[in-house]
Amino acid sequence: MRNKDLKRIFIKGGVLSPGELKQIIRLAETLGLNDIFFGSRQDIILPFQEADNEILEQFPDLKMEIISERNYQNIVCSYVSADIFKNTPWLNGVKYLYILEDFKHTPKIKINITDPQQQLVPVFSGNLNFIASEHEDYWYLHLNLPHWETPEYYPVLIFSYDIAKISRTIEEIGSDADDAQELFDLINDRIETNNRSIEKKLAIPYEPFPYYEGMNKMGINRYWLGLYWRNNRYDLNFLKDFSEFCLNHKVGKICITPWKSFIVKGIGQEDKLTLEKFLGKKGINVRHSSLELNWNIPVNDNDALNLKEFVVKTFDQNDISTYGMTFGISYHETEKTYFTTVTIEKNKTPDIVKNFQVRPTFNVLYSKNFDPNTQEYIAYAQDVDKIELPGLLMELSRMYFEQLGAITPSSSTKSDANDAPELSEVYQCQNCMTLYDSTYGDEQSGILPNTPFEKLPDDYCCGVCEGEKKYFKKILM
């Protein structure tokens, strides 16, 4: 199964009813599937061939968008964390639902609607990031438009019930604006909005990433349940029976997380034992170790899944704690917005050696202060072999706990230049991305440490792909 054969079912904000889930299950069964995937933008993903399009005609009541093209995006929101994790006092689940209901169009840009007090849903992974302020019904707007070089903040706070129409207007005219002020002026010329002045910059408090699985207390006599599958393949037979349980026990909403899992809130105390028996009979394992829980990996990618399992197994063997950290696996050749504490980035195979068996190499990056909300990532290691990854990640785990408690809130702006990590110049082969660092030289080619690139002989070539010296380009790290 190729990724281009996958279609996404958009679930606005990751919130759907048990009845809607049953409709999706019936569709998946009609397609001959046994399971479905969850996506990192709180959507549902399933294999879908062009020949299957006729099957959709059998589901006229399916209200959700089914998309294969990448030019449409699901709306992400932190409804899933409302009432179960720390939250902004005025922002509850009902407020999210009203805002989501206002969206009558399918966005072409990524939209996040989040509470800055929670950590479960990424705040800055969208093009339009609406972030709740301390003023009731008003939101900061962090703009990271595709054609802008750097993100900016909208100059005013946005009213809750203007979010949908402002989002649509930005889609229509955003390419005409080169900065936030110009965008603000264009929007004001086009639509009426209820804005509020920004009194202070957004500062997001840092908290370790929460554990979000198993049966947990919610209020006085209610519970919430988080469920997670290691391989992100959710069995249709279980989901069908589970959605039926929710319908029979007045559970109104099922919430998909960005971590390929789901959460159900509002389980009555009188139903807790019945649900636990149901899960036990189905053989459903809960309370996975946080070593394996807090990962974001590509859908339908066995190599990424095997890499995760390899790292987690090594963590477990060495009795390592990663509580509060998150990990992601990504690909160097695809432009992505990272939102994990640590990212393992797989390098592109050099074009020149595609016809040969080449072991993959990886880069390891971590977010500044181990806080993804800083939006700044630091390269910890580059071009390393798979076998080296667990050791490097364990080193980062120790660094994380050493500085834990000394982290300050993430500012709404980038750090000052004198706060940034010191950058050094290295040279990178543009054919295979191999680095030449003068500090270390190139022992295999007889180049001593501390030899500047300019002093290398004219016939120097890359030790991996044998690319000539002229193919190296200076970069900062």
Q: What distances in angstroms separate CA 69 from CA 104, 168, 259, 407, 448, one per listed residue?
A: 19, 19, 22, 40, 51
Specify the pTM: 0.82
- 341 in Cβ contact with 374 (< 8 Å): no
* Residues in the chain, overall count: 477
Written in H, E and C, the secondary structure of 257-274 is CCCCEEEEEEEEHHHHHH
Where along the chain do the CATH 3.30.413 domains lie? 3-204, 292-419
User: What's residue 12's pLDDT?
Assistant: 94
Q: Which fold has domain 292-419?
A: Sulfite Reductase Hemoprotein; domain 1 (3.30.413)
425-476 CATH: 2.20.28.10
Residue with tokens 């990751």: 14
Q: What integer pLDDT is reported at residue 413 of this predicted model? A: 44
Whether residue 293 contacts residue 211, with contact meaning beta carbons closer than 8 Å, is answered with yes
At which residue do the structure tokens 């910059």 appear? 201
> Residue 33: how many CB atoms within 10 A of its CB?
15
The CATH 2.20.28.10 portion of the chain extends over 425-476
Say what the pLDDT of residue 409 is: 64
- Contact between 373 and 123 under an 8 Å Cβ cutoff? The reply is yes
Contacts of 337 (CB under 8 A, 6+ apart): 124, 125, 126, 144
Concatenating the DSSP letter of every residue in 108-129 gives SS-EEEE-TT-SSS-SSSSSEE
Q: Are strands 342-346 and 327-331 parallel, antiparallel or unpaired?
A: parallel
State both tokens at 85: 């994790």
Question: Taking the chain (477 residues) in consecutive chunks of 10 residues, what is each chunk's mean pLDDT?
Answer: 71 94 92 92 84 66 69 93 93 95 93 96 96 97 92 96 96 91 95 94 90 90 92 93 93 94 94 93 87 90 93 92 92 73 87 67 93 92 93 94 74 41 66 75 82 89 80 73
The answer to whether residues 74 and 9 touch, using CB atoms and an 8 Å cutoff, is: no
Predicted local distance difference test score (pLDDT) of residue 113: 98
Amino acid at 66: I
CATH of domain 3-204: 3.30.413
- DSSP states of 194-207: --EE--S--EEPP-
Q: Which helix (H) or strand (E) holds 16?
A: strand 15-16
Q: Annotate 368-412 with three-state secondary structure.
A: HHHCHHHCCEEEEEEEECHHHHHHHHHHHHHHHHHHCCCCCCEEC
* Chain centroid, CA 370 distance in Å: 15
pLDDT at 253: 94
Residue 402 CB neighbour total at 10 angstroms: 9
